[in-house]
Structure 1
């Protein structure tokens, strides 16, 4: 039986609600492409978290963390992808004046299809998530025959908490959508999100292993 399970839930939730690349992507997609896009982005994030969980359970994350070469590949791939998404958002407001979408079917179909991929790759290519799973979760898992299942349960709990938070967060944004979908607000969100993602990407790329 795991000790301090409720303490883990509390601390994990506090970490989840801290703004990061996942929050930035989900915010942008929810505002610019409506609630369904935010949920699709969240689904991608959750699948990536499940992969991180299984990788940690089976020791693959430890291999990445211990190998400077593999860690660097993952780190720079994640940084490049975040910078790419950030530049894409900024270029959008430069090339085109954002308009409140009166018909959701008129929203760019390619962008719709990429919501899941954006959430998935943003989380999966972030080596800091792998490090987090290897440093945070073991503090709450016991040692011995049941360690495998306890580690797995903690990872699944973290994923479930992430689902609950982003589900609430997306519906909160949707609730105030009338204001958030004003052209000026959407333009500001696109620009701010782009800048934040670029900063996250640069921070990730320049961070020492």
Structure 2
């Protein structure tokens, strides 16, 4: 059983470190608001994952996966949100306003709830995440065990791995904030982040239900 969970942990970690919309929004909020901003965004992401896990455990993800209408609704809402985030990043790039100094990061005006919401909506509105949990987790559910409890246990382990990794990532990004605060670098980062959001938004919009 120990080797079973070790394999799940290693596989999950490799999947988590692959950059995606969660990474993009966490990077941007860490650069704008410091370590606390990045952590709050990650909390929102983990809250969304907990809902995806619970939904998969009770079968709601299967409904989304099989219902073309439900899949499309979530797909287009998620794509629209990612495109909106891309628009915000491109608008910031055009303004090219210097980021606040690291020492003043705690004084930067922002809404804690809005950062948590950004992490949450970026993840929860992506139907592919729901399908991922429904297809990935069953491979690690041990036979003759309670499927619901197994899903929830694997979900908790996945969230823990993701949170620890993102804390490490946030620390690294926050460490190089001083260099990234240069207007030219900041504009390039905003442009790159915007392009990532738009690319993922278009990709999500073109996804087909299986």
Q: Please state which band the TM-score falls in when normalised by the shorter chain.
A: over 0.9
Match of 2:180 in 1: 180
Matched residues in 2 for 1:202 and 1:2: separation? 40
The ranges of structure 1 where at least 4 consecutive aligned residues each deviate by more than 6 angstroms after the TM superposition are none
- Tell me if structure 2 keeps the 8 A contact 1:82–1:197: yes
2:110 is the counterpart of 1:109: yes
Moved more, 178-187 or 63-72: 178-187
Matched residues in 2 for 1:180 and 1:201: separation? 25
Number of residue pairs matched?
A: 207
Deviations 1:21-55 (A, max 9, x none): 00000011111221111111000000000000111
Match of 1:99 in 2: 98
Match of 2:24 in 1: 24
CA-based RMSD of the aligned residues comes to 1.7
Alignment of 1:78-93 (within 5 A): 78-93=78-93
Moved more, 146-155 or 14-23: 146-155
- Tell me if structure 2 keeps the 8 A contact 1:2–1:150: no
Match of 1:190 in 2: 190
How far 1:146 moved relative to its partner? 2.3
Deviations 1:107-144 (A, max 9, x none): 4535x542111100000001111011010110010233
Match of 2:38 in 1: 38
Matched residues in 2 for 1:135 and 1:32: separation? 35
Structure 1 gap ranges (5+):
none
Structure 2 gap ranges (5+):
none
- Tell me if structure 2 keeps the 8 A contact 1:32–1:186: no
- Tell me if structure 2 keeps the 8 A contact 1:45–1:122: yes
- Tell me if structure 2 keeps the 8 A contact 1:3–1:140: no
Matched residues in 2 for 1:60 and 1:142: separation? 21
Compute the TM-score of the two structures, normalised by the length of structure 1: 0.93
Match of 1:76 in 2: 76
- Tell me if structure 2 keeps the 8 A contact 1:57–1:151: yes
SS at match of 1:34: helix
SS at match of 1:178: helix
SS at match of 1:109: coil
Matched residues in 2 for 1:59 and 1:202: separation? 28
Compute the TM-score of the two structures, normalised by the length of structure 2: 0.93
